[in-house]
Amino acid sequence: MKNMDDANKEYLKTDYDDLKVVKSEIFFTPMLIILPLLVGVFLVYDWFCRGYSLGVSDFNGELMLGVIILVCNVLFDIPFVYSLIRYKKTKNRSKI
């Protein structure tokens, strides 16, 4: 048990450039932000073309799903992007 604690402490003591978690978050940020936005916009557009324009109420579920995806994406991505911006600022300050 003690060996595992020491390994965790050593991992946490490494420089920020070496943290694999942060690097993967930065790498996947465009996909995590853009993909849900595209899916949400596609669902709303599909509802508008097939449901609203033709007067078919069967596509209202697509509207609800699209709106839920868009709203949740905005609510969760704003703090995520803000934390990455703060991380980059602190990283740049530590280099000075």
In-domain check, residue 84: yes
* 64 belongs to a structural domain: yes
Q: How do residues 26-70 score in pLDDT, each as one tens digit?
A: 778 888 889 999 999 999 999 999 999 998 888 899 999 999 999
Q: Is residue 38 situated within a structural domain?
A: yes
Q: What is the pTM of this model?
A: 0.66
In a domain, 61, yes or no: yes
Count of domains for the chain: 1
Q: Domain range for residue 32? A: 25-91
Residue 8 lies in a domain: no
Report if residue 2 sits inside a domain: no
Contact yes or no for 33/66 (Cβ under 8 A):
no
- Is the CA virtual torsion 55, 58, 64, 65 positive or negative? negative
At 57, list the tokens.
């109420």
